[in-house]
Amino acid sequence: MSTPTSSARPGPATATGAKEQVARLLTLVPYLHARGGVRLDEAARDLGVSERQLVKDLRVLFLCGLPGGYPDDLIDVDLDALVDPEGDRVIRVANADYLARPLRLSQTEATAIIVALRALRGGALTEQAAEVVDRALGKLEHAAADAAAPIEVPLEPDEREYAARKALLQRGVTEQRQLRLSYFVPTRDEESERIVDPRGVVSYRGVEYLDAYCHSAEAPRLFRLDRIRAATLLETPVVSAPEAPRSLAEGLFAPGEHLLTVTLRLEPTARWVTEYYPTQDAHQMADGSLQVDLQVADLRWLRRLLLRLAPYASVIAPAEVADDLRDAASAALRLYDQDA
Amino acid sequence: MAAAKTERLMNLLIMLLVQRGYVSRERIRELLYKDSSDDAFERMFERDKEELRSLGVPIETGGHDPLFEDEAGYRVSPDQFALPPIELTADEAAVIGLATKVWEHARLAEATTEAVRKLTAAGVDVDVAALDLVEPRLAAEEPSFDVFLEAVQERTAVRFDYRTSGGPDVSSRHVQPWGVVRFSGRWYVVGYDVDRADQRVFRLSRVVDDARKVGEPGSYQVPEGIDVRAIAKATLRPERAQEPAVLLVRGGAGHTLRRRAERVEPLAEGERRPDGGHWERLHLLSPPSDLADEILSHGTDVYVEEPAALRRTVIERLQGVS
């Protein structure tokens, strides 16, 4: 699971500019005010800053205060306790009551935390849990004074079930315990039971897979999470040699696996295919259809897809695949012969 | 350098925060920018105000003091500046702790962490405790997500190129976004399409290249009573009439259909079958268009008995494969 970094920018906890330092100080002062003296290492951990940076920040704070410039006007920081080898390394700040409350949440902060809470609300499995999230959400919405943007993240029932299953699989990974899966294989239209040693949940193009050693296949396998119909966490520990989950950076197909490139012509009704499966070389045709190439590892899967799209997808090449589709359609049609 | 600037920004903030009334530019200059030329003062003071504002410090302008003709004054109201008091119980604080793990989007993950730091600073002890909930993850890999996020916050219109369906056809759009909705794992923006003069729902993954904000923030109002979630749901998953269907399914096949079936029964002795194999009868409810697709994907394993219209559709679609 990689974290997308669509707009990575260093936050106040790590950045070195004056603005970020001010942001840190505006959080640090109320933090200390609410707690009295706090040990340097503890404060660094709570605020996500290094101890070194924290001491630097405190040295600057020492120079700030009320206008006038008299010693009594300045914020008092017990720097000796922090830098003196004999010091007890406890941060004590005085004379800063006017900064006793943290700065209110920015609009982006309000949006980020409130939308995250709305998502958690959708994940509540019991009424009690939902009630706790609602209370927290209510208080946060009040504190943010309606600054959060209108972003809605309703969780559909199937998504909740999915999230619950994923949590269970991940527990299997962390606790190194075996799982029993009931898995649906669409190409074979069959549901099978298997015991697996989970290695990790990995994702490729937005689809998540459990990478696991499968005891039925006696080999590592990828299981699409949305095709796992049921999962049980077993008491038995994993027995296969531990291995990190595989990287799907190069795609789902193992190197060297035989792939067939199939050229399809899709009428508008069948165009959704290009949003669900990786297709290449799309050409718009004069008649409004779209010609695309699809990489296929399993011809049974392709046959089912093309039948589902019938007759809005046709096979341009190779000829064997076109023949196979025609045969499959004729065979299905023969079931209705006695109707005629 | 940074330390001196931090000191100046902090002192400016503290000065504006502790004064009861507005503080004049003259006084600010005298106390904080003593050694600067006129030009340097103007430049530095403007930039400093801007930096504090970008952190969220509400600097107000006003208060013409008769002693300083035409001189604008500045202040920061402590109530506007500070996070309102918030007290959380232990279980509520645990929920806040989980919130930091939800976003798989760098900027919003950091913003959540920052929000939690402020709550921590306000005295909340955030702890991660087990709660009876699954922890959803919100990723947003669509490149246009950030632009729409900013646009709905600021109420700024957006221009973008949009693919209507899987094909390469692209149309240019000018939209006033009302809200962003996640639906079944994908992000959508709901808003008013200015050129088409109607409300529309757009899937962010179909936005081509860069979306750009156009015009001033706050340049439109979201109409009263708009429920972006309801609009998205009505558009993306319209309620469709369910119709009963009766199918024959080959033994051991058609799992996706069996799961949805209301009833599965064996065929009676001597009943007519599509071919010599072992068949069972399924009764189910479904919108007819989806069902035809699914039946077709099963090839020779599924046979439609009723309704007649569904059977005709399946036969015609199979005949269309040539």
Q: Are residues B44 and B100 in the same domain?
A: no
Query: In the structure, how many helices (H) and strands (E) does chain B have?
Result: 11, 14
Q: For A273-294, write each residue's pLDDT tens digit.
A: 887 787 888 888 888 888 999 9
Kindly state whether residues B152 and B168 are assigned to the same domain: yes
What is the ipTM for the molecules in this complex?
0.80
Joined tokens for residue A120: 């958690």
Per-residue pLDDT tens digits for A193-214 = 999 999 999 887 767 899 999 9
Burial (CB count within 10 angstroms: exposed 0-12, middle 13-18, buried 19+), residue B264 = middle
- For residue A252, give how far its alpha carbon lies from the nearest alpha carbon of chain B (Å): 19
pLDDT digits (tens, 9 = 90+) for B224-252: 999 999 999 898 888 788 889 999 999 88
Rounded Cα gap, residues A268 and A288, in angstroms: 7
> Higher pLDDT residue, A72 or A105?
A105
Low pLDDT (below 70) residues in chain B:
1, 63-71, 128-130, 165-168
* pLDDT of the residue at A8: 43
B232 close to A (CB below 8 A): yes
- Domain final position from B192, B209, B235: B235
Q: Give the whole-angstrom CA distance, residue A99 versus residue A329.
A: 76
HSE, side-chain direction, 13 A CA sphere, residue A104: 25
- Least trusted range by pLDDT, from A5-9, A69-73, A96-100, B162-166: A5-9
* DSSP secondary structure string for all residues of B289-305: HHHHHHHHHTGGGEEEE
Q: Which of B78, B166, B301 sits opposite A271 (nearest CB)?
A: B166
Q: What is the pLDDT of residue B271?
A: 84
Distance from CA of B177 to the nearest CA of A (A): 10
**Topology of the domain comprising A260-334:** Alpha-Beta Plaits (3.30.70)
The residues, ordered by sequence, that sit 6+ positions from B207 with a Cβ below 8 Å of its Cβ are B142, B143, B144, B160, B161, B162, B163
Q: Within this chain, do residues B128 and B155 fall inside the same structural domain, yes or no?
A: no
Chain B CB contacts of A7 under 8 Å are: 106-107, 146
pLDDT at A7: 42
Does the beta-carbon distance from A28 to B32 stay under 8 Å? no
Pair B156, B130 in one domain: no
What residues of chain A lie within 8 A of the CB of B56, using their CB? 103-106
Check which CATH number belongs to the domain holding B213 and give it. 2.30.30
Radius of gyration of chain A (CA): 30
Beta strand residue intervals within chain B, DSSP E: 23-24, 59-62, 73-76, 103-104, 138-139, 157-163, 170-183, 186-193, 198-203, 207-214, 243-250, 263-266, 279-286, 302-306
When the pLDDT of each residue in chain A is averaged and rounded to a whole number, the result is 86
pLDDT value at residue A256: 55
Q: Thinking of the domain A158-237, which architecture would CATH place it in?
A: Roll (2.30)
Say if residue B190 is in the same domain as residue B206. yes
How many structural domains is chain B composed of? 4
Question: Residue A315 and residue A332: Cα distance in Å, rounded?
Answer: 18
Residues 30-69 of B with CB under 8 A from A: 31-32, 51-52, 54-57
Do B228 and B252 reside in the same domain of the chain?
no
Length of chain A: 340
- Asked if residues B156 and B217 have their Cβ atoms less than 8 Å apart, the reply is yes
Chain B residue whose CA is closest to A113: B112
Residue A154's pLDDT band (boundaries 50, 70, 90)? Answer: confident
Same structural domain, B191 and B225: yes
| Res A36 pLDDT > 60 | yes
pLDDT tens across A177-194, in order?
999 999 988 777 778 899
Strand-pair category, A76-77 with A93-94: antiparallel
B209 shares a domain with B189: yes
Domain ranges of chain A: 18-99, 107-144, 158-237, 260-334
Instruction: Give residue B164's domain range.
Output: 140-235
The structure tokens 């792939």 sit at: A259
